[in-house]
A and B are shown apart, each in its own frame.
Chain A
Amino acid sequence: MIATENITFSKAEIERYSRHLIIPDFNIEGQRKLKAAKVLVVGSGGLGAPLLQYLAAAGVGTIGIVDYDTVDDSNLQRQVLFGVASIGKAKVDEAAARIQSLNPYIKVKTYNTMLSSDNALDIIKDYDIVADGTDNFPTRYLVNDACVLLGKVNVYASIFRFEGQVSVFNYTDEDGNVGPNYRDLFPSPPPPGLVPSCAEGGVIGVLPGILGSMQALEVLKVASGVGKPLSGKLFLYDALDFSTRTLKVYKDPENPLTGDHPTQTELIDYVQFCGVPHVEQEFREEAQIKKVDVHRLVEMRQAGEDFQLIDVREPYEYEIVNIQGELMPKGHIDEFVGKIAKDKPVIVHCRSGKRSADVIQHLEKQYGYDNLYNLEGGVLAYADEIDPSLPKY
């Protein structure tokens, strides 16, 4: 429980929070608990935008923000914390300035760093509640494990395209019972590649606003002790058909942290745990693929050389921007094998060069191609270095 004996409010604060103070079940005691609370928001992006603004507006006394990123123009479709003037600047600084201007009565602390196994315990230990608004499986497991090891509540939300999830993990109820955590729900992550990130898979703009707002309210409930937090439950929202479900989550006796026979007592290497290939390994595999850069592609075109250019992106990406390649989406590449030349150079490209490298490896292994070249940097590099009039996405 958060101690509130020494918490007082100025006249200005009383007036600011008056709509909370007149809710009978919340009143000044709830507000005192909010002011005493220390909440760490991990990730100041799609979920972080509503989280940070509502937590600050509501009067959470100390808010920490962790992020290592800078604001990009493509963030503004959903990260309503930022404006055009924020582009290129550190997210934590822009977020802190925004919420401090919204509420000067709170303390804001920033960590312009990537949360890792080396710093997570040190950062999280000073907070009561963590709100996880990150965007990848290794960090999800890291946040969970650090919260479990330190006994902190982990208020979780996650989104993908039109679908979102919310839960409250590692919550201790009034009887002292600790609720389930993320590993009880998902003992192991899906294999890399099955669930793309928002950067690869897309997300509808309003969705993080909805889920992040629910997450913010769960933080306020946990901090104030008002209501019944979403512990032991998983809320699912599918915006496509406006369906919602609330499922039960149980403690798993095989949980390596909190099960019957715990085997894990410290943080681990989460990148390895999630099977995300280390950069060196990826580099080694890609190093064996033949490549051309965008300038060479232009030279070949201008010289009228005989070659084939293949675009392995999706049709809807082709519509956004293309460089006149033949469209053969990666997922259906086997159906196009008859159309991929074996007797002349074939340049394969995608958005950034990653998917085309995968396609080349596949075609070389499965069909014995030896005339395939990856276009380094894909259409992004082409837009940067050859034709700046092309949009990047």
Chain B
Amino acid sequence: MAKIIVPTPLRKFTQNQTSVETGGNTIKEAIGSLVTQFPDLRQHLLTKEGSLRTFVRVYLGEEDIKQLEGEATPIQSQSEISIIPAIAGGKA
């Protein structure tokens, strides 16, 4: 099972789990497995057509999936997938 690391802003949709074990052979399938387990996440990660939203960045290990094969990038059982959040805090 690959592991998806859930960033802080999205943990309210994963019952505060910081990482989630997912199935699938590609990034797309892993994200699909994640939003099946946590349906409230779907609208925050995927468009109506099912592709990743533009503000959602996904990494396999330390590599941006855009530099690999995008959502079709194959994953292995020990893969670590990160969803990178845009966060803005610092001053207030």
Interface of A toward B, CB cutoff 8 Å: 43-48, 67, 69, 132-137, 139-140, 157-163, 165, 185-191, 194-199, 201, 203, 208, 211-212, 234, 236, 238, 240-241, 245-250, 252, 331
Contacts and interface: CB of A to CB of B under 8 A. Distances in A.
B39 to A, nearest CB: 14
Given A161-B8, A247-B84, A135 B67 contact: no
Given A45-B92, A240-B18, 4 more contacts: A135-B89, A135-B91, A139-B88, A158-B87
B84 A236 contact: yes
19 contacts: A44-B91, A48-B90, A69-B91, A135-B90, A158-B87, A160-B8, A161-B8, A163-B87, A185-B84, A190-B55, A191-B55, A198-B90, A198-B91, A201-B9, A211-B90, A234-B84, A245-B82, A247-B59, A248-B63
Contacts of B55: 186-191
B64 A249 contact: yes
Interface string B69-92: 000000000000010111111111
A46 B44 CA distance: 28
A196 B85 CA distance: 12
A383 B88 CA distance: 30
A248 B62 contact: yes
A201 B67 contact: no
B23 interface: no
B90 A246 contact: no
A139 B91 CA distance: 11
Contacts of A240: 18
B12 A331 contact: yes
Interface string B41-69: 00010000000001101010011101100
Contacts, number: 118
Nearest to A187: B54
A48 B91 contact: yes
Contact of B8 (A139, A140, A162, A190): A162
A137 B86 contact: yes
Given A163-B8, A185-B57, A187-B54, A245 B92 contact: no
B57 A45 contact: no
A346 to B, nearest CB: 26
Nearest to A191: B55
Contact of A159 (B57, B67, B86, B89): B89
A165 B85 CA distance: 10
A246 B8 contact: no
Interface string B16-55: 0010000000000000000000000000100000000011
A195 B9 contact: yes
Q: Which of B54, B63, B67 lies at the interface centre, i.e. has the most chain A CB atoms within 10 A of its CB?
A: B54
A187 B12 CA distance: 24
B57 to A, nearest CB: 7
Contacts of A69: 91-92
Contacts of A194: 9, 44
A162 B85 CA distance: 13
Contact of B64 (A246, A248, A331): A248
